[in-house]
Amino acid sequence: MKRTALGAAGATSAPLISLEKQLLQPGVKGLPITAPLPQGAIGSQQWNVLRADTSFPVAVLKISALQHNLRWMRAFCERHGAQLAPHGKTTMSPQLFSAQLANGAWGITLASVAQVQTAFRYGVRRVLLANQLVAPADIKAVIALMRQDPGFEFFALADSSAGVARLSQATRLMGLERPLPLLVELGLAGQRAGCRTMDEALAVAREVAAAPGLELAGIEGYEGLMVSQDRERDHQGVRDFVAGLSDLLRKADAEQLFTRGSILLSAGGSAYFDFVASGFAQVRGLSRPVLPVLRSGCYLTNDHGFYHDLIEQLNQRVGIAPEQGLKPALEIWSIVLSRPEPTLAILSMGKRDASYDIDLPRALAWHRPGGANADAGAMPDGCRIEKMNDQHAYLRLPADAAITAELAVGDLVGCGISHPCTTFDKWPLLLAVDDDYGVRHAVNTFF
Amino acid sequence: MKRTALGAAGATSAPLISLEKQLLQPGVKGLPITAPLPQGAIGSQQWNVLRADTSFPVAVLKISALQHNLRWMRAFCERHGAQLAPHGKTTMSPQLFSAQLANGAWGITLASVAQVQTAFRYGVRRVLLANQLVAPADIKAVIALMRQDPGFEFFALADSSAGVARLSQATRLMGLERPLPLLVELGLAGQRAGCRTMDEALAVAREVAAAPGLELAGIEGYEGLMVSQDRERDHQGVRDFVAGLSDLLRKADAEQLFTRGSILLSAGGSAYFDFVASGFAQVRGLSRPVLPVLRSGCYLTNDHGFYHDLIEQLNQRVGIAPEQGLKPALEIWSIVLSRPEPTLAILSMGKRDASYDIDLPRALAWHRPGGANADAGAMPDGCRIEKMNDQHAYLRLPADAAITAELAVGDLVGCGISHPCTTFDKWPLLLAVDDDYGVRHAVNTFF
């Protein structure tokens, strides 16, 4: 089984096997097929991206980097006594969820009920919905899943009386057999959802604890939006926020609002999970065990831009050499379609294929299929993607570089991306490759 | 048949029927289902978006606006003696392709071979690939389709000797039975692909005409990127460019490079197709008939931002009252998840759901399901989406507006978008609604 390369113990589950058995149709981006092909047969085709066997653009996941990152995060969490519920919205990939769970993840975090339904369908049975649960159809869908499998553990957030009242009424109307566990969300002034003050949050916690059909399972917050030019202030802000979450938890516990076997305490995007883990490790002496849950989604692939830089900073904070830290695993390869001007190459990828919301893709490597070199060459300094249209990228080359004379129509260009979430959602299928860019298997996404 | 609402004569084709028969799984964005549902049964569920029957966010297409736009563009083309090969990359929707073809479209334009394979699978048999055809797997895939159906008409672009040589060699190696028709692409300095001078373009045209396995089918260009602050200069630039395309065509014809029954002359994004149509209408007196082909993709849905403004300008140029012009047909509805601060509402949609590459979505309307009003109310001036994360939008409300006190968790907000292409690609399924937001059927996309 090739998927066991990612340590996915659940890879033999029926839903994942059904993905291997499905017939992929011509027209799936990246696949060089002219007739339907069972997904499980991809590994035996012996395609190699650098030989231009695939179609372009193609999204590749480097298996060795994924394996490294899975092990790295497991060790990090074990070292800090924290659980991991990686944010599944990043990849929305059943095979990657399976690999994360097989590598010690406690559950999967998700952002919408549609995502919860998809994860459930592929075997995920512990979900933290890092959002308020509001729409009637969504409430009904969650309750249906809780009924379908009494072992399905589901947690959602609450940050208002109005939300608590809606949910309580809905669970009563639908006659849910077991209480719906909620975490009170503490927010930050000027930021996203979440109660803005400790008093507001405590009030919502009391309402949840008192509401029929609901139970208070813990406290939650999201610190990941605190990224500004003033890094010292960001860091202090994160530490203060983590302390605030712990403080809220202590106050709610002092009022005996928690009644489950343990109390969830969750935060942690992909930028500051070190601060979160060490802050949460200090929470002790409560009425029942506290389960600290980190939620990084982007650790799995890292990137070559925004998260790369944040992870480098994290490495420095915790004393990890860069080469031992999380590795970028996701690349988009495209082909040179046109060399219309001496310093311009037009590539076969665009806004439909690579993130552009934080930074444009970064040109990493180039390769001439069938040329003298088996390996791709590093893209020289000064080569950069300066613009993307829907289906094209503009690669600007330095006037005096050797590559500027050399790069030709039909050459391949490999790009790193900035922000995995907005690249994964552009690919229904990504190809997992070995270190030589040989295609070993595929992973699906559901957006 | 509900799909005939869009005038899709081909709606009864086997591939489209297969979409109606497919079982949609819980987890498809927007669908309020807890068990698999055949797609064709959506219309009989009597869902209404304003009653909050669906999940949120949900992407809706207004049937009446689509119908209007289909008829409008057909009449426009007939009036100008032009053919339409709408850019299918905008929607990548088989049902919408079918509606466009049933409303007089000559063919479908596409941007990649993966898109061509998908369109072919759903019955499209005349394709203009508005791109160079370079990757070996892509060349092979196109040749496979040309063999699979000898009636499949396929055209691609050429802008370099290198590209022509690659294609000629590939068609020879693969023993293609009929020549591959190419259009020479004329470009613009500093813009995307395409020959930069008339001499270069003529040289490529001669190479195509002389290359074994290829034939010169016409001349092509893309004027749509000329959008700057200086509208007069843009307009003059477009007219000059259209004149340049016509000039290139005349010169190539004078050299007897065209050998097919007619000569294709194609340009026309969604901003300036009036200039293109009137410019092309002046091309007369060649050795064989000229087929002017426009390629607008965004006319079908228009939008509430970038294209809305460009279409308003077009309306003024051609003397059409705004209410008789193309209508916006695409909206994203989301639900208020949180009201964390007096002037802030957090909505259940984000970068995964609505375009953000040109402008953020525009809040158009709001509605309280089960409230006193059956219709949605217009969003007052000053309410605006000020930011989006991956899965959330930040709706800022004016401090002194009535809605700011009124808007509550669970209320619905309808948004228009700017740039249909980057919204369609976020939705595998969109719901087609009547003027009361009753859900009548669904259309699929394949990205």
Q: Tell me the per-residue pLDDT of A151-180, one tens digit each, with 9 for 90 and over.
A: 999 999 999 999 999 999 999 999 889 999
Give the gap in angstroms from C-alpha B192 to the nearest C-alpha of chain A: 7
Is B138–A111 a contact, with Cβ atoms under 8 angstroms apart?
no
CB B36 within 8 A of CB B24: yes
Tokens of B67: 């119908």
Partner A contacted by B115 (CB < 8 A): yes
What are the beta bridge partners of residue A109? A87, A128
For the segment A237-247, the average pLDDT, to the nearest whole number, is: 96
State the pLDDT at residue B2.
42
Q: What chain A residue is nearest to B110 in terms of C-alpha separation? A: A391
Whose CA is closest to A347, among A388, A305, A399? A388
State the pLDDT at residue A373.
87
A225 pLDDT tier (thresholds 50, 70, 90): confident
DSSP A412-437: EEEEE-S-THHHHTT-SEEEEE-TT-
State the pLDDT at residue B7.
53
Is B409–A55 a contact, with Cβ atoms under 8 angstroms apart?
no
Measure CB to CB from residue A346 to each of B28, B121, B193 and give the nearest one: B193
Interface of A with B in 176-205 (CB under 8 A): 187, 189-190, 192-196
Measure CB to CB from residue B335 to each of A134, A145, A348 and give the nearest one: A134
Q: What chain A residue is nearest to B200 in terms of C-alpha separation? A: A340
The pLDDT tens digits for A342-381 are 999 999 999 999 999 999 999 999 999 998 888 899 999 9
The pLDDT tens digits for A117-136 are 999 999 999 999 999 999 99
Interface of B with A in 151-170 (CB under 8 A): 159-160, 162-163, 166
Mean pLDDT of chain B: 95
State the pLDDT at residue A138.
97
Q: What chain B residue is nearest to A55 in terms of C-alpha separation? A: B137
Is A111–B187 a contact, with Cβ atoms under 8 angstroms apart?
no
> Helices (DSSP H) in B174-305: which residue ranges?
198-210, 231-254, 273-280
Instruction: Inform me whether the pLDDT recorded for B89 exceeds 60.
Output: yes
Sequence-distant (6+) residues with CB within 8 A of B142 are B113, B116, B129, B133, B154, B156, B180
For the segment B279-291, the average pLDDT, to the nearest whole number, is: 95
User: Residue length, chain A?
Assistant: 447
The pLDDT tens digits for A311-332 are 999 999 999 998 899 999 999 9
Give the gap in angstroms from C-alpha A446 to the nearest C-alpha of chain B: 8
Q: What chain B residue is nearest to A348 in terms of C-alpha separation? A: B112
**What do you get for the CA distance between the two ends of chain B, in Å?**
26
Chain B residues with beta carbon closer than 8 angstroms to that of A132: 337-338, 409
Measure CB to CB from residue B137 to each of A32, A113, A134 and give the nearest one: A32
Partner B contacted by A174 (CB < 8 A): no
Partner B contacted by A114 (CB < 8 A): yes
Is B27–A335 a contact, with Cβ atoms under 8 angstroms apart?
no
Instruction: Inform me whether the pLDDT recorded for A3 exceeds 50.
Output: no
Residue in A92, A360, A447 to test binding to B, most B beta-carbons within 10 Å? A447
The whole-angstrom separation of Cα B99 and Cα B6 is 6
Tokens of A243: 């302390």
Instruction: Inform me whether the pLDDT recorded for A5 exceeds 60.
Output: no
State the pLDDT at residue B416.
98
The whole-angstrom separation of Cα A331 and Cα A334 is 10
Tokens of B101: 């073809």
State the pLDDT at residue B268.
85
Partner A contacted by B325 (CB < 8 A): no
